[in-house]
């Protein structure tokens, strides 16, 4: 019975790790986000202009959120997304992972892929071989400013 329990536990643990993984995305030289499925339409991110567009929504990031993109001197930006999980668990999202080589902290910004609403900002701290992530409390005025900047995109 013990052996059966151990085998089942290993199967469950190994399956739970493979259940979900974000899809890596790229940004081309014209600021197009490459890797999202067609239902997300036109997708762009321009770091210099703090501009994000997904399908028919666009936003210019306010200074209070753009701060996380400019805190590192030589930022390493990784973009990923998830759109193939149940929305009951979490909305489809875009993840900006902002770090720098030889720096022991970074930030992640999660944005709803369909509404462009801000989901969360996290601080990640590396200690040895471990990484600890903490949700950051974003000031209400920053969140309100961000929400006001979400618009319908005009082609």
Q: pLDDT tens digits for 7-41?
A: 545 455 444 444 568 999 999 999 999 999 999 99
- Total-model pTM: 0.84
The pLDDT tens digits of the residues spanning 90-111 come to 999 999 999 998 899 999 999 9
* pLDDT for 20: 61
Task: Using pLDDT thresholds of 50, 70 and 90, give the confidence band for residue 155.
Answer: confident
Do residues 40 and 54 lie in contact, with contact meaning Cβ atoms separated by under 8 Å? Answer: yes
Percent above pLDDT 70 for the chain: 87
Phi-psi region of 31 (alpha: psi -120 to 50; beta: other; left: phi over 0): left
Q: Is 45 exposed, middle or buried (0-12, 13-18, 19+ CB in 10 A)?
A: buried
**Alpha helical stretches, state H, 23-104:** 63-70
Residue count of the chain: 155
Do residues 22 and 80 lie in contact, with contact meaning Cβ atoms separated by under 8 Å? Answer: yes
| CA-based nearest residue to 95, from 82, 83, 80, 113 | 80
**pLDDT at residue 70 is higher than 60:** yes
* pLDDT for 34: 97
Q: Rounded to an integer, what is the distance from CA 85 to the centroid of its chain?
A: 15
* pLDDT for 139: 96
Quick one: CA torsion of 22, 20, 115, 66, rounded to 10 degrees?
-40
* pLDDT for 17: 42
Separation of alpha carbons 81 and 84, rounded Å: 9
* pLDDT for 47: 93
């Amino acid at each position: 019975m013990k052996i059966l329990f151990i085998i089942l536990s290993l199967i469950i643990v190994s399956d739970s790790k493979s259940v979900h993984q974000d899809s890596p995305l790229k940004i081309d030289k014209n600021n197009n986000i490459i890797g999202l499925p067609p239902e997300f339409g036109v997708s762009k991110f321009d770091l210099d202009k703090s501009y994000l567009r997904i399908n028919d929504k666009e936003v210019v990031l306010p200074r209070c959120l753009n701060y996380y993109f400019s805190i590192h001197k030589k930022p390493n930006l990784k973009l990923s997304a998830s759109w193939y999980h149940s929305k009951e668990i979490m909305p489809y999202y875009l993840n900006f992972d902002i770090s720098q080589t030889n720096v022991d902290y970074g930030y992640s910004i999660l944005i709803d892929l369909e509404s462009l609403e801000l989901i969360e900002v996290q601080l990640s701290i590396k200690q040895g071989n471990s990484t600890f992530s903490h949700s950051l409390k974003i000031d209400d005025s920053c969140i309100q400013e961000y929400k006001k900047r979400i618009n319908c995109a005009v082609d």
